[in-house]
Structure 1
Amino acid sequence: MKKHLAAGALLLLVAALAACGGGGDEDSSSSGSSSAAPTATTAPAPTAKPAGPSNAELVGIGEKAFATCAGCHGADGTGVTGLGKNLVGSDLIVNISDSDLATLIKVGRSSSDPANTTGIDMPPKGGNPALDDEKIDGLVAYIRSIQ
């Protein structure tokens, strides 16, 4: 009787081990020599910045949004006398950071600002409240592209 209980217990133990993943087909290194080191699986490295429009796409977005600016700065960015400065080759545009240029577009420039030589207010977002951050980033890219 003890032999039957021991054999039954052994059979249950083997069945339990097999059910816990002892299949052996997935890891061929266990049937070979033990000198092979297990391979670590690494996740792909995260990208440095979230995916967004490419520079070319931003320039296209900005070119369309520039219609807001063209009334004062001209369709080609060369300015309209008495209204908006020439943006092409402008010392301001060449020397200002992208971030500061975006801020200038967002907040505008009062006629009382000493840097405003036209005497005309540049309204925030050129007077177009529909200019969101992506369009403003596009405007910065477009203005850079016409330099």
Structure 2
Amino acid sequence: MDEKITWWERFEHGSLYVALLAAWIAMAGSLYFSEVAGYIPCKLCWYQRILMYPLAGVLAVGLLRRDRHLPVLVLPFSLLGQGVSTYHYLLQKTTLFSEAATCEIGVPCTTMWINWFGFVTIPFLALVAFTIITACCLIALNAGLPDEEMTTATPWVPVVAIPVAVVLAFVLLARVNAQGHEEALAAPAAIAAPAAFPTLIPTRADGPVEPARADIAVVTQGEGLYREACAACHGQDARGVANLGPSLVDSAVILEGEAQAAVAFIRKGVALDDPANTTGLVMPPSGGRPDLSDQQLLAIVEYLRARAVVP
């Protein structure tokens, strides 16, 4: 008598489709971070990309061919990727590898472009994806060859549907992000005229000076751009992040002199061997966001100056 096929048995023999979904989400997500959000990948990010991107194609082709050796082909990539992602995450969040020389040139590997909930960074997301792929491959290996009843008659349907769905979802996110940038670029007229920016540094000793009402829109825009582009390294309150980015609310470079000079400094960045580098940290040109216009950087500078005035 035939036994009823359980949902777990079906999952065991379909787990590689979950791995395919994870690989495509990871690949599309990394491209979104670099090509849409403008986050520059560090050296370890590229290593993880090298290990993840081929899996999107290998899993798809292997599923189409019903290759029973597919888990064995995928596991070396996913296991090595887990190792690199774990090392990268520990490099960001701990001092276990404080003496490591990785990423001395270019964007530091300790740069946290995102820090959701205080612990979710980009290498953490990569680690989750590699772990899901590894687990699915191990499940598929344990399941062995599926019975004819559980074999997908048309494997090309999910193999095509999964990448298409993921790509469409991230294209939609990219369009939403682009719309946000367009709204940010539609700044008040004062932003287009650098001379219209007043100095927001206090002019009296008996207390802070409120920014003029006409500048509120500029400061508000700068706050949004700061939280999007700068907060990962310099903190949500702009008071710096230990071993990552210095405080900006008391930075002479930001607060003193012309705002345009501060923008020029941000555009240039700070190399590791720069004589002006007093932190031992690299600031990539444009803060790693070359997509930001001079007007947007001016708005960020004015927001930081306003924060120095109004805590």
Asked whether the two chains share a fold, i.e. TM above 0.5, the reply is yes
Distance in 1 between the 2:225 and 2:298 partners?
A: 10
Change (3 A) 1:95 1:52: closer
2:251 is matched by which residue type in structure 1? Answer: S
- For residues 133 and 94 of structure 1, the distance between their equivalents in structure 2, rounded to whole angstroms, comes to 17
Question: What is the Cα deviation at residue 114 of structure 1?
Answer: 2.1
Q: Distance in 2 between matches of 1:137 and 1:95?
A: 14
RMSD of Structure 2 on Structure 1 (CA): 1.7
Which of the pair is proportionally richer in helix? Answer: 2
Q: TM-score, normalised by structure 1?
A: 0.59
Establish whether residue 52 from structure 1 lines up as the match of residue 212 from structure 2: no
1:52 partner amino acid: A
Aligned equivalent of 1:70, options 222, 227, 231: 231
Shift of 1:63: 0.6
Point out the structure with max Rg over C-alpha: 1
- Tell me the SS of whatever aligns to 1:121: coil
Q: Deviations over 1:95-119 (max 9, x none)?
A: 3421110111222111211222222
Tell me if the contact between 1:107 and 1:125 (Cα under 8 Å) persists in the aligned partners: yes
Instruction: Work out the CA distance in 2 between the residues paired with 1:124 and 1:96.
Output: 20
- Partner Cα distance (1:96, 1:84) in 2: 21
CA-CA distance at 1:134 after TM superposition: 1.8
Task: Say which of 108, 133, 137 aligns to 2:294.
Answer: 133
Mapping of residues 77-96 of structure 1, within 5 Å: 77-96=238-257
In the alignment, is the contact (CA less than 8 A) between 1:83 and 1:118 conserved in 2? Answer: no
Give how far 1:94 is off: 3.0
Q: Which runs of 5+ in 2 are unaligned?
A: 1-188, 192-213
Identity among equivalent positions (%) equals 39
**2:260 paired residue number:** 99
Give aligned pairs, total: 97
- SS, match of residue 274 in structure 2: coil
Q: Secondary structure at the match of 2:273?
A: coil
Matched-pair contact (CA < 8 Å) for 2:253–2:262: no
Q: Distance in 1 between matches of 2:293 and 2:254?
A: 21
Does 2:284 correspond to 1:123?
yes
Q: Name which structure has the greater RCO, CA cutoff 8 Å, separation 6+.
A: 1
Say whether the 8 Å CA contact 2:266–2:286 is kept in structure 1: yes
Contact 2:268 2:286 survives alignment (8 Å): yes
SS at match of 1:56: helix
TM-score w.r.t. length of structure 2: 0.29
User: Which runs of 5 or more residues in structure 1 are unaligned?
Assistant: 1-50
Q: What letter matches 1:125 in structure 2?
A: S
d(CA) in 2 for partners of 1:88, 1:139: 12
